[in-house]
Structure 1
Amino acid sequence: MPLIILFILSSFLFIYLELSLLVWIGSHIGIIGLILLLILSSFVGLLMIRARGWYTLFNVQKQLAQGEIPARSLLKSGIWIVAGALFFIPGFLTDILAILLLIPAVQRLFEQFILNKVRFFSAKFSANSHRTFYRQNGQEGEVFEAEYEKQVDDDKRIK
C-alpha cells in the first residue's frame, strides 16, 4: 500500500513540475514559441523512433547472419526508442529525461541496471529448475526408448 501511495504522489509531482515548467517557459518565450518547441520536440522524437527502428532491424539482421546474439544491440535500441518516446510526449521535463537517456554514461548505467534485473530473474527461475536437457560433465546420458498407445476411456470415470 505505501508503494502505491508513493507512486501516486510521484506521478502528481511529475505532472505538477511538467505543467509548471510549461507555464514558466511559455511566459518567457510566448505561446507561439512554446507550441513550436513542443511540435519540434515531438517531431524529433518521431524521427528518432523511426530511424532507430530501421537501424535496429538492419543491425540485428547483420548480427544474426554473423551468428551473434544481438542482445546488447536490442537493449541499446530499446533505450533510444524510450528516449524517442519521451521526446514525443509533449513537455520539457520528459525532454530532459530523454536527453539524459542519450548521454553515453547514463546509457551504460541504465544498461547495467536492466542487465542486473534480467540476470536476477533468470537466476531465480533457473535455480528452481532441476531438469536439464544438456550433457552434464561431458558425459552422455542414458536414453530410454518406449512406445505408447493412446487409449480413450469410454465411460470417463476415474479408476
Structure 2
Amino acid sequence: MPFIAFLFAVFLFIYVELSLLVWVGSHLGILMLILLLIGSSLLGITLIRVRGWYSLTRVKQQLTQGQLSTDALFGSLRWLVAGILFVIPGFVTDILACVLLSPLGRYLLNLFIGSRLIAFRQKLFKTHRTFYSSQGNPSREGEIFEAEFEKEADENKRLK
C-alpha cells in the first residue's frame, strides 16, 4: 500500500509540473519558458558550485578549531538539495528550492531532522555498551584478565 501511495504522489507531481509548464508556456511564450528553465538551471549549478566551496572551507575551519561541524554540514546539504531542485526543469521544483532556502524551510528541516536525530541518538546511546556486554554476556566491571600470547608458525601451512 505505501508503494501505491508513492506512485500516486510521483504521478501527481509529474502531472502538476507538466501542467504548470504548459500554462506558463502558453501565457509567456515558448522562448521565454526556455529562457526561464535555462536560467533556473544555471542558478542551480552556480549554487552548488559556490556553496560547495564555501562549505568546504567552513568545515575545514571548524575542524581546525576542534569544533563539530554538524550545522555547517546540514546547511550545506540544504543548499545542495536546493541547487539540485533548481537544476531539475520545472517550476514546482524551483518553488520547493526557494522554500528550502527560506528561513521557514530551514526551520522545518531542522525540526524534522532534529527530531529524527534525537530519536536516533536515544536509540544508539541508550546504554554504555562494551564489546563484551553487547554479546549478551553480563558485564563484569572490576575484573582484570591477564593472558599471554605466543605466535607459532605452522609447518605444514594447511588448514586444520
For the aligned pair, the TM-score class normalised by the smaller chain equals 0.7 to 0.9
Q: Is the 8 A contact 1:41 1:87 kept in 2?
A: yes
Where does the alignment leave 5 or more consecutive residues of structure 1 unmatched?
A: 133-139
Percent of pairs identical after alignment?
51
2:110 corresponds to: 111
Q: Quick one: structure 1 residues 89 and 69, their matched pair in 2 at CA, closer, same or farther if it must change by over 3 Å? A: same
> Is residue 51 of structure 1 aligned with residue 50 of structure 2?
yes
Measured in 2, the distance between the counterparts of 1:66 and 1:155 equals 51
Where does the alignment leave 5 or more consecutive residues of structure 2 unmatched?
A: 132-140
Measured in 1, the distance between the counterparts of 2:35 and 2:150 equals 72
Q: Is the 8 A contact 1:76 1:111 kept in 2?
A: no
Measured in 1, the distance between the counterparts of 2:127 and 2:6 equals 32
2:126 corresponds to: 127
2:40 corresponds to: 41
1:2-21 map, 5 Å = 2-21=1-20
Deviations 1:91-127 (A, max 9, x none): 0000000000011122122022112212222322333
> Is residue 148 of structure 1 aligned with residue 137 of structure 2?
no
1:69-108 map, 5 Å = 69-108=68-107
Measured in 1, the distance between the counterparts of 2:158 and 2:110 equals 57
TM-score (norm: length of structure 1): 0.84
Off by >4 Å, runs of 4+ in structure 1: 140-143, 150-155
Measured in 2, the distance between the counterparts of 1:98 and 1:36 equals 18
> Aligned with 2:89: secondary structure?
coil
Q: CA deviation at 1:7?
A: 0.3
TM-score (norm: length of structure 2): 0.83
